[in-house]
């Protein structure tokens, strides 16, 4: 029986809005691309999500990636509001899943700073039954331990739980621990696959 749905957040419930974020800060297209390349697409961003390093150390790593952009890199993240934008369906989808008798949890690689600066975009979390965030656990997906932390924290049985993520590698790691897994393409597709899993178990 499927009892629990575990949702990733980035590019599942919220859009990673880094390009528009940089443009909104006053940088042109070329500068925005450089800022993204120096930050979002680097190992330092994973460390931001992991939460082990303080923010100033993260910024120093960003600057190393593009020293010419140092003035921008040292100030652009002072306020990260609108770095993510919630998808219109997020809250309704969570509530719909719960209306079907399912428990809903969030498991995400996400930083403390984004959680603080983008709190309004994460309002849907109040409808979830629980969460495990990378910065709190000092672990990032696909490390198996972060999945175990969620299962243990909320007393979930892996075989009764479906993990949904837009990154195949993260879904594969969940399946290796016995969870059901769905690679997210759209919320309609993911929801349909949830119902197929439930029907396959005669629910």
Q: Is residue 174 a contact partner of residue 184, using CB atoms and an 8 Å limit?
A: no
Q: Which fold has domain 4-15+85-200?
A: Rossmann fold (3.40.50)
Grouping H, G, I as helix, E, B as strand and the rest as coil, residue 138 is coil
**pLDDT average, residue stretch 61-90:** 96
Q: Please give the pLDDT value at position 117.
A: 97
Q: Where are the domains of the chain?
A: 4-15+85-200, 18-73
Q: Is the pTM of this model over 0.85?
A: yes
Distance CA 133, CA 150 (A): 9
Confidence of residue 201 (pLDDT cuts 50, 70, 90): confident
Distance CA 167, CA 185 (A): 10
Q: Is the dihedral of CA 85, 121, 84, 100 positive or negative?
A: negative
pLDDT reading at 177 higher than 90: yes
Q: Is the dihedral of CA 119, 38, 48, 15 positive or negative?
A: positive
Q: Please give the pLDDT value at position 202.
A: 61
| Paired strand residues for 107 | 132
pLDDT in tens, 114-159: 999 999 999 999 999 999 999 999 999 999 999 999 999 999 999 9
Distance CA 51, CA 110 (A): 9
Q: What is the mean pLDDT of the chain?
A: 96
| Dihedral pair phi/psi, residue 34, rounded to 5° | -65, -40
Distance CA 179, CA 127 (A): 22
Least confident of 15-19, 31-35, 167-171: 15-19
**pLDDT average, residue stretch 85-102:** 97
| Paired strand residues for 6 | 105, 163
What share of the chain in percent tops pLDDT 90?
98
Helices (H) and strands (E) in the chain, counts: 11, 7
């Amino acid at each position: 029986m499927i009892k629990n749905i575990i949702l990733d957040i980035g590019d599942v419930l919220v859009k990673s809005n880094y390009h528009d974020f940089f443009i909104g800060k006053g940088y042109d297209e070329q500068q925005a691309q450089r800022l993204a390349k120096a930050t979002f697409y680097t190992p330092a961003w994973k460390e931001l999500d992991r939460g082990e390093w303080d923010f100033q150390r993260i910024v120093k790593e960003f600057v190393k990636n593009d020293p010419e952009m140092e003035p921008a890199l040292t100030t652009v993240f002072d306020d990260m509001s609108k770095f993510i934008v919630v998808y219109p369906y997020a809250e309704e989808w969570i509530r719909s899943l719960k209306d079907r008798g399912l428990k809903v949890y969030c498991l995400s690689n996400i930083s403390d700073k984004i959680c603080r600066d983008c709190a309004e975009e994460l309002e849907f979390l109040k409808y979830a039954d629980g969460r495990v965030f990378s910065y709190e656990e000092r672990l990032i997906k696909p490390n198996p331990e972060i999945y175990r932390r969620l299962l243990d924290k909320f007393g979930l049985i892996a075989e009764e739980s479906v993990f949904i993520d837009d990154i195949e590698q993260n879904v594969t790691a969940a399946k290796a621990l016995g969870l059901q897994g769905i690679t997210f393409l759209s919320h309609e597709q993911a929801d349909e696959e949830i119902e197929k899993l439930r029907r396959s178990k005669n629910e």
